[in-house]
Structures are given as C-alpha cells and as structure tokens.
C-alpha cells in the first residue's frame, strides 16, 4: 500500500514515485534462526509459535495520516494461550469480528521511535475473514500511541520512508 504522491528523498536526492504507507515485520522480535529449528516452533505469515509456549499473531497498528489516508505498521503481538487458541479456532469463521478484543503485548521493536515499542500493552481486534487484526495500543504518552490517537503528517510518513529506505544512515 502506498500513496500516489511521490517525494524527493532528503537522503539520496532522488525522486521516488510513491510514498509507502505500510511497513511490516516478518517475525516477532523473539524469533531467530535457531528457534526455527525447534520442532515446536513455527512461523507463518499470520501466526507464530515459539517452543510450543510463546504465541503470536500478526496485526496492524493503523495511524491516520492527517488529510485522509492511513499509515500502518504490520506488527506481532503476544497472546495468552487461551486467546491464541480462540483466535485460531475462529480464523476462518464468518462473524469473527464480533469477538471481544484480546489483550496482548507488542512483540515488535519499531526502531524509528526514540522509546522502545517492545511490550507495549495492546488490544487485538479481530476483523472479517481475510483481514489482518487491528492492534490498538493502550492510550499512553508513548509516541507510537500518541500517533495512533492523533495522526501523523505526510512529512512524518516521508521521514519513515527515508529512514527505512536508507538504513545505513545515522539516526
């Protein structure tokens, strides 16, 4: 997903035709190649189990872009066994979006924030079949939570793009 508005990158000076509005994490922060070899560990595009006891789902932290669009981070959230099993049981069930939200802990570190994002409290809201869950952050003064509540400018979205496209830059 991206905006059709291009931008001139302040890092490389090049004109990019699109301003990306979605970024994702491939695995929870706790995943590693060594864990992948454990027989009770599995990572799919939507769910993760580590050593048969740590359970995660992938969802979206959506942030309104002032002016109308949505920016999103695809993140991993740790759920309790009870919540994880319930969510998986309903994974392909119509009407699952009527479930109450599940409490979880953010299991993705978004390094572009000056405060750690790992282990922020969340509520995971199931959506209709085929849609990623919505991850609502506890309303704290953490910059990510503030952005989710208040929105961000397209300049902030461009800053994210520049940092992620040029990770070798000092931040």
Q: Kindly report the CA angle at 31 between 27 and 96, in degrees rounded to 5?
A: 50
| 107-160 tens-digit pLDDT | 999 999 999 999 999 999 999 999 999 999 999 999 999 999 999 999 999 999
**Residue 126 is assigned to a structural domain of this protein:** yes
Residue 170 is predicted with a pLDDT of 52
Structural domain boundaries enclosing 55: 21-151
Residue 171 is predicted with a pLDDT of 46
| 43-72 tens-digit pLDDT | 999 999 999 999 999 999 999 999 889 999
Helices (H), 7-133: 33-36, 81-89
Above 60 in pLDDT, residue 101?
yes
CA distance 60 to 47: 13
| 11-20 tens-digit pLDDT | 777 787 888 8
* Mean pLDDT, the chain, integer: 92
**Residue 56 is assigned to a structural domain of this protein:** yes
β partners of residue 114? none
Residue 166 is predicted with a pLDDT of 74
67: helix, strand or coil:
coil
Burial class (CB in 10 A: 0-12, 13-18, 19+), 16: middle
Under 8 Å between Cβ of 133 and 149? no
**Residue 163 is assigned to a structural domain of this protein:** no
Question: For the chain, how many structural domains are there in total?
Answer: 1
Supply 136's token pair: 């609502």
Confidence of residue 10 (pLDDT cuts 50, 70, 90): confident
Residues 6 or more apart whose CB falls under 8 angstroms from that of 56 comprise 28, 47, 48, 49, 50, 76, 77, 78, 79, 107
**Residue 98 is assigned to a structural domain of this protein:** yes
Residue 72 is predicted with a pLDDT of 98
**Residue 68 is assigned to a structural domain of this protein:** yes
**Residue 136 is assigned to a structural domain of this protein:** yes
**Residue 11 is assigned to a structural domain of this protein:** no
Residue 167 is predicted with a pLDDT of 66
**Residue 144 is assigned to a structural domain of this protein:** yes
User: Hey, how many other C-beta atoms are within 10 angstroms of the C-beta on 92?
Assistant: 9
54: Cα within 13 Å, side-chain hemisphere: 17
CA distance 102 to 119: 15
């Amino acid at each position: 997903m991206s905006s059709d508005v291009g931008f001139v990158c302040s890092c490389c000076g090049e004109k990019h035709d699109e301003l990306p509005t979605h970024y994702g994490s491939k695995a929870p922060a706790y995943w590693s190649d060594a864990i992948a070899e454990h027989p009770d560990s599995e990572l799919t595009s939507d769910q993760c189990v580590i050593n048969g006891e740590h359970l995660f789902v992938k969802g979206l932290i959506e942030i309104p872009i002032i002016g109308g669009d949505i920016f999103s981070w695809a993140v991993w959230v740790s759920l309790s066994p009870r919540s994880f099993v319930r969510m998986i049981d309903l994974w392909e069930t119509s009407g699952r979006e009527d479930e109450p939200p599940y409490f979880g802990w953010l299991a993705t570190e978004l390094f572009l924030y000056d405060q750690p994002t790992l282990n922020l409290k969340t509520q995971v809201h199931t959506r209709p079949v085929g849609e990623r869950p919505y991850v609502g952050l506890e309303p704290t003064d953490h910059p990510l939570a503030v952005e989710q509540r208040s929105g961000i400018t397209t300049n902030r979205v461009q800053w994210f793009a520049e940092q992620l496209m040029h990770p070798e830059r000092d931040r």
